[in-house]
Chains A and B, each alone.
Chain A
Amino acid sequence: MTATAVTPETELQRHFEDTIEHDRRIEPRDWMPEAYRKSLVRQIAQHAHSEIIGMQPEGKWLTRAPSLRRKAILLAKVQDEAGHGMYLYSAAETLGADRADLTQLLIDGKQKYSSIFNYPTLTFADVGVIGWLVDGAAIVNQVPLCRSSFGPYARAMVRICKEESFHQRQGYELLAHLMGGTPAQRAMVQDATNRWWWPSLMMFGPPDADSPNTQQSMAWRIKRHTNDELRQRFVDMSVPQAEALGVTLPDPALRWNSEREHHDFGEIDWMEFKRVVSGQGPCNAERIAHRKAAHDDGEWVREAAVAYAAKQAARGAAA
């Protein structure tokens, strides 16, 4: 006999809302509205996919890293991204989602990942700028999610945020090193900054007026700040970092507004954002094709491991 078998739905709903109202966590076996579960699966899966696809832009530079030190660092970072994807798939599975299904949905283009990973990494300075700006934006997005109302997601985010800090710092250090080099190296950093700045601002999603799910997600506390709030926070954090580095952020409208006590910044090209999200970015097709190839190439390994485990189990039973 369980309480849930006899409790009317209205009371379950009230208990759910009360738990969130008191900033307590919802755990996997708790009753939850179907829309909350669906919304979370979508959010967590999209986040997991982003980590997995996010291995590709930097992974390309593993074999071309300029030193053993940089190669070891980059390898550890890309391995972390894989790990973050796994923590998140694990969290999604506590909601009843199946990891293999989610991978299939990604490959079939039925679930999305962050549009930032559809841009190419043209030089090694891109590795540094991804750490500084892309991971920096990810941190701003993710730190509030450590207080997500869904326990397993919040706990995964705590782990992830701890590791992201290394990602951002290694990137910034890489750039500082290049800025201390030749004029050509400094130009590389500026060029990479020019290309990644606007896409990084787009990582926070559409403007609040254009983000229909925000209100419900904030009520459920699976989102704690609006897109525009987080974007502003990121701009304010990045300006002094760019100054210390000696690069110029590619926005002539960027300036301190002493009245607002925030930086004003230029209009984001939302048409580009929509193009990239809808699959027309420079690398969308390549990213998915690569993910599919890796998955297909791994099929015989997954099969062989199952066969080996079955054989070992049979031997153990016979002995």
Chain B
Amino acid sequence: MPTEGVPAGTEPRQRSVWPLYEVFVRGKRGLNHVHVGSLHAADSEMALHHARDLYTRRNEGVSIWVVLATSIAASSPDEKDPFFAPSGDKVYRHPTFYSIPDDVPYI
């Protein structure tokens, strides 16, 4: 008879914890999925159902992604983060960096 995980006697029971999922919704065909919030669910299937009920009650989406929050790796959102510094001084990556004579068409 399995006894593991079965609460013993009067000991306080462990709170059952559903993990946190982040939710991304594609608003309509042709758009990217966009982060809309998070929710708790026991597994990814339940997370999808909850996400539908929570974030698309008024036809806000045609497709949903749910991802375990712990599976997301993130950079620091701080704008001053040196993480983004490498792109800061490379103005030559933008088309406006280059001057083209006015009379050259289609460029």
Which residues of A line the B interface, CB within 8 A?
2-4, 15, 27-31, 76, 79-80, 83, 86-87, 90-91, 93-94, 99-100, 152, 155-156, 163, 299, 302-303, 305-309, 312-313
B76 engages A305 (CB within 8 Å): no
Known A306-B16, A306-B17: A312·B43 in contact at CB below 8 Å: yes
State how many residues of chain B have any CB contact under 8 Å with chain A: 25
A308 engages B76 (CB within 8 Å): no
B54 contact set on A, CB distance < 8 A = 83, 86-87
> B57 at the A/B interface (Cβ < 8 Å)?
yes
Which residues of B line the A interface, CB within 8 A?
5, 13, 15-18, 20, 37-40, 42-43, 46, 53-54, 57-58, 74, 76-78, 80-82
The dominant DSSP class at the B interface is loop
- Minimal beta-carbon separation of A81 from chain B (angstroms): 12
Select one of A3, A29, A313 contacting B43, CB under 8 A: A313
B37 engages A3 (CB within 8 Å): no
A156 engages B37 (CB within 8 Å): yes
- Minimal beta-carbon separation of B39 from chain A (angstroms): 6
B74 contact set on A, CB distance < 8 A = 29
Q: List 16 A-B contacts (CB under 8 A).
A: A3-B78, A4-B76, A15-B78, A27-B77, A28-B77, A29-B77, A31-B78, A83-B54, A87-B54, A100-B17, A152-B37, A155-B37, A303-B16, A305-B42, A306-B16, A309-B46
A306 engages B39 (CB within 8 Å): no
Select one of B42, B46, B57 contacting A83, CB under 8 A: B57
A306 engages B77 (CB within 8 Å): no
Select one of B16, B40, B76, B80 contacting A99, CB under 8 A: B40
Q: Which one of A28, A90, A94 has the highest number of Cβ atoms from chain B below 10 Å of its Cβ? A: A90
- Minimal beta-carbon separation of A24 from chain B (angstroms): 9
- Minimal beta-carbon separation of B100 from chain A (angstroms): 36
A93 contact set on B, CB distance < 8 A = 20, 38
Closest to A151 in B: B77
B82 engages A30 (CB within 8 Å): no
A155 to B35 alpha-carbon distance, docked (Å): 11
Select one of B5, B53, B81 contacting A3, CB under 8 A: B81
Known A3-B76, A86-B54: A302·B39 in contact at CB below 8 Å: no
- Minimal beta-carbon separation of A167 from chain B (angstroms): 13
B80 engages A15 (CB within 8 Å): yes
B43 engages A30 (CB within 8 Å): no
A309 engages B57 (CB within 8 Å): no
